Structure 1
Amino acid sequence: MCTLSVVIPAYNEENGIAEIMERVLSIRPALRKVGIDDLELLVVDDGSKDNTAVIAQKIADQDDNVVIIKHEVNKGYGGALKTGFSRAKGELIGFLDADGTYPPEYFPLLCEQALNGADLVIGSRMAGEQSQMPATRRVGNIFFAGLLTMLGWQKITDSASGMRVVKREILTQIYPLPNGLNLTPVMSTRAVHEGIRMCEIPIPYSERIGRSKLSVIRDGLLFLQSMVWTVMAYNPVRVLGIMGLAGVFLALLSIFGLIVARLSGDTTIGPWGVAALFAGMVAGVTGVALFALGATSNYLVSLFYKKNIRQGLFGKPIFKKPLESRFGLLGSITFLAGLVLSIVSLTLGISGWEIERLWLYLLGSAMMILVGVQLILYWALMRVLEDLSQRELLIRQDLNG
């Protein structure tokens, strides 16, 4: 016997709460056809100032499977959902908004996917069905879905959908979740990195009943911040590594431009050249530091999750063979190359070469030495962290002979 518990968070939704509740209750026959024996509906009134709770209670008085939960103060969209999750009795837990934008008639299809093996089924508003989503929000959802796809290395079309079905048993894997509107993108991000079996089902999306509570700019920034920090908790090098590689790329562009100018016989640079050189040096050193910090942080994360870093952490690495494994070699080569260049440049300077011919080489050698030292230090730190991450495994091997 399988039960679906549907949670509806509601805050000042007196104009639409009755309709969405009736629509949810009307899907019982369709649920039975896919193998769902019972339906429980939980409405969480999140401190509404209007008649939302009164209207919802009238429907609950007529149906024993409808539960009304009241928050004395507003806890937020995520807080209301989590209250509903904690009170739900079903093996499957679904949720959708109270404003009529999501179609509860699609719950049977989502549940069918859950019964066929998916742990989290997302109703995607961006996967082909008719959508009345405003253009600004559509652009935002495309951006966030693309961001999660890039950071999690798994194709996602709608990271912030508010209509989902999740198996109760995996809640502990995707917790903790925030209390705000950013619950859904954080849930998606955690699910991707926890290896949760996910699938998306195209659903239509309608205009909401009443005024939207979503602020495109404020909540968009909240979504971005939440997703990035959640990824950082699982796979820091995915975020810091990409930023670091971007910095190194800018530095290489700057170096290439200077080399071309040098080969053409121009030994002086103007204001724009100075600016490019300054930006390139800052971007290069910062880029190497960010990538190395991200790689090192992955070793710390592996200690927390008790995973061997060599087995991979939460998604595919940026490179086929982790670049950090060569930090020691790369650092030594860079350091020695910088040292040799500096010795040659200083020797030429003592021999009478003008500083105009040597300053770029001296500057480049100093940067190479500093980057080389950075890489060597991070390599040494990662070796220590790797040994710590393997300590328990090595102890068991020694005890077993």
Structure 2
Amino acid sequence: MVKTSVVLPAKNEAGAIGQTIEQILALQLVDEVIVVNDGSSDQTLQVAEQAGAKVISHPYSKGNGAAIKTGARHAQGEIIIFMDADGQHDPADIPKFIEKLEQGYDLVVGARQKGSQASLGRGFANAFYNKLATYMTEHQVEDLTSGFRAVRAEKFREFLYLLPNGFSYPTTSTMAFFRAGYSVTYIPIHAAKRIGKSHIRLLRDGTRFVLIIFKIATLYSPLKMFLPIAILLFMMATSWYGYTLYEYSRFTNMSALLYTGSIMVFLMGLISEQITSLMYKDSE
């Protein structure tokens, strides 16, 4: 029997975490539930321990991604299931994740379906990320940012050094698995409304989501992002040169600038591609 661990990153989730842990243990499918208490100021620690979880506490809040990494390092299971501790994810979906892993997949992601509780802005952003990631990987990406996922522990730990300490660990880990050639699949889930207050802030995390777009490119294949921009600049330069040659019979500084920009962007993409390849070099 494959040993399975569930990791719950938690910051001030006393209102929901006890019920979540009890529902997980009631399934009798997992060997341990690890709660990473990320500097909570409420009763998260006490409630989690009373519900039967193993609790690891950060002395101060380090971020969701940091909690995930701590949980992954301490998990004893060959399979690790990551869930939110705020009541959004239904523990009853856990058997479906385990079943998919048993079929040979390395990463199983819960794809949130229509009707899941998300704001219009976040729904639009997630749809955009999914399309961009699909273009980059040439594989259908149904939910890039879902935090409900199951992984083979030894493969997930290969990429701990890549994971950020903030909320974008799902994006990073998904793209890393694709880049390494591991098998990724999705199962449909419904995300309920969270219990308690969200830790996401519009301005701060709006900026973070923009950065995710660039991270998607740099984590997988930077040239696929840089090359279209280089081609666009080249076409603009050629069009402007054609216009000025016809009208004024000369080559302008703007054409030179656009041609130079096109070459520079292409070379940046080429160098980034080589750096990305080194990031995923097999350490074994």
1:19 alignment counterpart: 19
Tell me which amino acid in the other structure corresponds to 1:160. T
The aligned amino acid for 2:268 is L
Structure showing greater relative contact order (alpha-carbon pairs closer than 8 Å, 6 or more residues apart):
2
Contact 1:189 1:231 in 2 (8 A): no
Secondary structure in 2 matching 1:196: coil
**Are the counterparts in 2 of residues 120 and 198 from structure 1 also a CA contact under 8 Å?**
yes
Shift of 1:280: 5.0
Q: Hey, what does 2:207 align to over in structure 1?
A: 221
- Paired residues for 1:82-93 under 5 Å: 82-93=69-80
Comparing both structures, which one devotes a greater share of its residues to helix? 1
Which residue is equivalent to 1:141?
Answer: 126
Equivalent residue for 1:239? 225
1:245-285: CA deviations, max 9, x gaps?
222233234345446xx3xxx5499xxxx9xx765543332
Which position in structure 1 is the counterpart of 2:42? 50
Whether 1:99 and 2:86 are equivalent positions in the alignment is yes
Q: Is the 8 A contact 2:136 2:220 kept in 1?
A: no
Matched, 1:111 2:110: no
Does 2:203 correspond to 1:203?
A: no
Secondary structure in 1 aligned to 2:193?
coil
**Contact 1:92/1:165 (<8 A) preserved:** yes
Q: CA, structure 1 residues 130+48, in 2 after alignment: closer, same or farther (shift >3 Å)?
A: same
Match of 1:70 in 2: 57
Shift of 1:50: 0.8
Note the C-alpha offset of 1:232: 2.6
Contact in 2 for aligned 1:6/1:94 (Cα 8 Å): yes
Q: Which residue of 2 aligns with 1:369?
A: none
For 2:97, what is the secondary structure of its paired residue? helix
Report the count of equivalent residues.
281
CA distance in structure 2 between the aligned counterparts of 1:278 and 1:211, rounded to whole angstroms: 55
Overall identity of the aligned pairs, in %: 31
Residues 5/300 of structure 1: CA separation in 2 closer, same or farther (3 Å cut): closer
Whether the 8 Å contact between 2:230 and 2:266 is mirrored in structure 1 is yes
- Residue 281 of structure 2 is aligned to residue 295 of structure 1: no
Letter in structure 2 aligned against 1:244: A
Q: Aligned pair in 2 of structure 1 residues 11, 199: CA closer, same or farther (>3 Å)?
A: same
Q: 109, 119, 142: which is aligned to 1:157? A: 142
Work out the CA distance in 2 between the residues paired with 1:213 and 1:304. Answer: 31
SS at match of 1:175: helix
Q: Residue deviations 1:343-371, cap 9 Å, x none?
A: xxxxxxxxxxxxxxxxxxxxxxxxxxxxx
Match of 2:33 among 32, 37, 41: 41
The TM-score, its normalising length taken from structure 2, stands at 0.88
- Would the alpha carbon gap of residues 153 and 121 (structure 1) be closer, same or farther in structure 2, given more than 3 Å must change? same
Structure 1's unaligned 5+ residue stretches are 32-37, 61-65, 308-401
Q: Which entry has the higher C-alpha Rg, 1 or 2?
A: 1
- Shift of residue 120 of structure 1? 0.3
Counterpart residue number, 1:250: 236
Q: Give the root-mean-square deviation of aligned CA atoms.
A: 2.6
Q: How does 1:369-384 map to 2 (within 5 A)?
A: none
Deviations 1:12-34 (A, max 9, x none): 11111112112222222xx4xxx
Contact 2:175 2:220 in 1 (8 A): no
| 1:286 equivalent in alignment to 2:273 | no
Relative distance call for 1:283 and 1:3 in structure 2 (3 A) is same
- Structure 2, unmatched stretches of 5+, are none
SS at match of 2:37: strand
- CA, structure 1 residues 78+240, in 2 after alignment: closer, same or farther (shift >3 Å)? same
Provide the residue aligned with 1:3 in structure 2. Answer: 3
Q: Distance in 1 between matches of 2:202 and 2:116?
A: 18
